[in-house]
A and B are shown apart, each in its own frame.
Chain A
Amino acid sequence: GAVVSQHPSWVICKSGTSVKIECRSLDFQATTMFWYRQFPKQSLMLMATSNEGSKATYEQGVEKDKFLINHASLTLSTLTVTSAHPEDSSFYICSAFHSTDTQYFGPGTRLTVL
Chain B
Amino acid sequence: GDSVTQMEGPVTLSEEAFLTINCTYTATGYPSLFWYVQYPGEGLQLLLKATKADDKGSNKGFEATYRKETTSFHLEKGSVQVSDSAVYFCAIDGSSNTGKLIFGQGTTLQVKP
**A interface residue numbers (CB < 8 A to B):** 1, 4, 6, 32, 34, 41-46, 49, 93, 95, 97, 101-108
Q: Are A42 and B106 in contact (CB under 8 A)?
A: yes
Could you pull out 11 A-B pairs where Cβ atoms are within 8 angstroms? A4-B43, A32-B99, A41-B106, A44-B103, A46-B102, A95-B101, A101-B99, A103-B46, A103-B99, A105-B36, A107-B43
Give Cα distance in the complex from A95 to B44, angstroms: 9
| Chain B residues with a Cβ under 8 A of chain A | 32, 36, 42-46, 49, 89, 98-106
Do A44 and B42 contact each other (CB < 8 Å), given the known contacts A34-B101, A49-B98, A97-B99?
no
Q: List, in ascending order, chain A residues with CB within 8 A of B89's CB.
A: 43-44
Complex-state Cα separation, A72 to B16, whole angstroms: 48
Alpha-carbon distance between A102 and B46 when the two chains are bound, in angstroms: 8
Chain B interface mostly helix, strand, loop or mixed? loop
Q: In the assembly, what is the distance between CA of A97 and CA of B49, in Å? A: 15
Residue from A34, A43, A49 whose CB has the most chain B CB atoms within 10 Å:
A43
For residue B20, give the distance in angstroms from its CB to the closest CB of chain A: 20
- Most central of B45, B101, B102 by chain A CB within 10 Å: B101
Q: What distance in Å separates the Cβ of B96 from its nearest Cβ neighbour in chain A?
A: 11
How far apart sit A34 and B101, CA to CA, in the bound complex (Å)? 9
Select A43's contact among B46, B99, B105, beta carbons within 8 Å. Answer: B105
- State whether A105 touches B45 (Cβ < 8 A): yes
Give B94's nearest chain A residue, CB to CB. A46
Which chain A residue shows the least CB distance to B4?
Answer: A43
* Set of chain A residues within 8 Å of B105, measured between Cβ atoms: 42-43
| CB pair A103 B101 closer than 8 Å | yes
